[in-house]
Amino acid sequence: MTSTATSHEGSDQTDVVGDLIARGRNAMAALENADQSRVDEAVTAVAWAIYAPERARELAELAVRDTGLGNVADKVTKNQRKTFGALRDLMRVKTVGVIEEDLERGIVKYAKPVGVVAAVTPSTNPAATPANKTMMALKGRNAVIIAPSPAGYNTTLRTVEFMRSALQRIGLAADLVQILPAPVTKASTQALMVACDLVVVTGSQNNVRSAYRSGTPAIGVGAGNVPVIIDDSADLDAAAEKIAASKTFDNATSCSSENSVVILDSIYDVALAALGKAGGYLADNEQKQNIARCLWVDGDLNRDLIATDFDVLAAATELGESAHGSQFAMVEEQGIGADFPFSGEKLSLVLSVYRARDFDDALSITQRLLDFQGSGHSCGIHTADMEHARRVAEQIDVVRVLVNQAHTFGNGGGFNNGLNFTLSMGCGTWAGNSISENLNYRHFINITHLSTVIAEDEPTEQQLFGDFHSKYGRN
């Protein structure tokens, strides 16, 4: 198969992007009159292209080798689980022709493509995220051009090659999926954003802001920094096991990985013990300072330590023999803000622990953590008291609140919750995002509304204003 990623050194970025766009539009013509079954074949073909065990492993190994982030076993799981879950969701919805009829309102809705989609993807998930976005784009009969992180380019290129081959295998144009040629630069990514019909960005907040400034309709997602409350009604062992499994998955590369736990004072010591039993190592003050000194360099996260195995982190931060056999480090923290780096996203096997006086204080700490970093993204609570869960949802400004769940496995969709499977979490206007839900197929279709005449539905003035006038008068 001929790759779309041949070098174009010296070529004008606008010309290169223009060629990709034209090829994408030509490829879309093959799906213009496709029925739902044919569209679903395309989506399934792309899903199998990276779900197949040998390819899921190849891409996982390549991703770790390319980026140095995460671990192979968990990336295999991510490539397969996210793809499988997204395919489940996509096979259950219509995106061709009439997708909804509301006879009472005289409205019939027709789905149409949005066009050529620019999908900007991160180094943390250089295979799973491009595949996830491609499946959603194809479900809407669109073409997609992927602008990957340079750090994960080889993995994303291989992913695209697999998806292109899968489309050709079922008789569709490979150019329904393309990739920016190497080297990917800010200039080439910006040119793509300007030229396409829709931009969907996951990863760098600089890219998100660039997408919104591009003049093209854009969907960006926010940064993570997930805090999770453990209250005094929680099953502490179950909570600790879920937090540990979630925190350590793929060495904490996920934006949904727990970054802080907020524990009520009345159960603080016993909850810490449960976390310790689940694999957490509680650093003392000197070790905490060592972690801070090594994990941040000139205010930025140390590329050599983020998303590494715990033994690498432990050795670099001199945790010593006492940490041997643990899976992640815990540091006790009180402060929040720029002067307290442990209050932010760490992209590493380090979990911050806050002691809350009571549940009201836990809510306050959680909101302040999100206000510092992770606005609108998500938080969680481990509890047997659903009133506490409802208070979190009512009072904390986030799109998602997970109850008694391992955050990494549930936030982007789970088989035991109702959230859409995705690797891109919208965070609402709190994070400057245009969506406040998980990215899903609806964001990749336009809708034509056929409106027909219905029985007149015009209330009287009294019906609309009567109560107001009775209370305040007509003046």
Hey, which residues are catalytic here?
A: 255
- C-alpha 21/C-alpha 142 separation (Å) is 12
Q: What is the largest CA-CA distance in the chain?
A: 79
Crossing angle of helices 36-51/72-91, nearest 10°? 170
Closest Cα partner for 151 from 119, 178, 129, 182? Answer: 182
Given strand 280-282, what is the order of strands in its sheet?
A: 280-282, 328-332, 350-356, 258-264, 226-230, 376-382, 398-403
- The secondary structure of the chain, three-state, reads CCCCCCCCCCCCHHHHHHHHHHHHHHHHHHHCCCCHHHHHHHHHHHHHHHHCHHHHHHHHHHHHHHHCCCCHHHHHHHHHHHHHHHHHHHHCCCCCEEEEEECCCCEEEEEEECCEEEEECCCCCCCHHHHHHHHHHHHCCCEEEEECCHHHHHHHHHHHHHHHHHHHHCCCCHHHEEECCCCCCHHHHHHHHHHCCEEEECCCHHHHHHHHHCCCCEEECCCCCEEEEECCCCCHHHHHHHHHHHHHHHHHCCCCCEEEEEEEHHHHHHHHHHHHHCCEEECCHHHHHHHHHHHEECCEECCCCCCCCHHHHHHHCCCCHHHCCCCEEEEECCCCECCEHHHCCCCCCEEEEEEECCHHHHHHHHHHHHHHCCCEEEEEEECCCHHHHHHHHHHCCEEEEEECCCHHHHCCCCCCCCCCCCCCECCCHHHCCCCCCECCHHHHEEEEEEECCCCCCCCCHHHHHHHHHHHHCCC
- C-alpha 188/C-alpha 12 separation (Å) is 9
- Name the β-bridge partners of 340: 337
Show the tokens assigned to 8. 């174009």
Q: How far is CA 272 from the centre of its chain?
A: 29
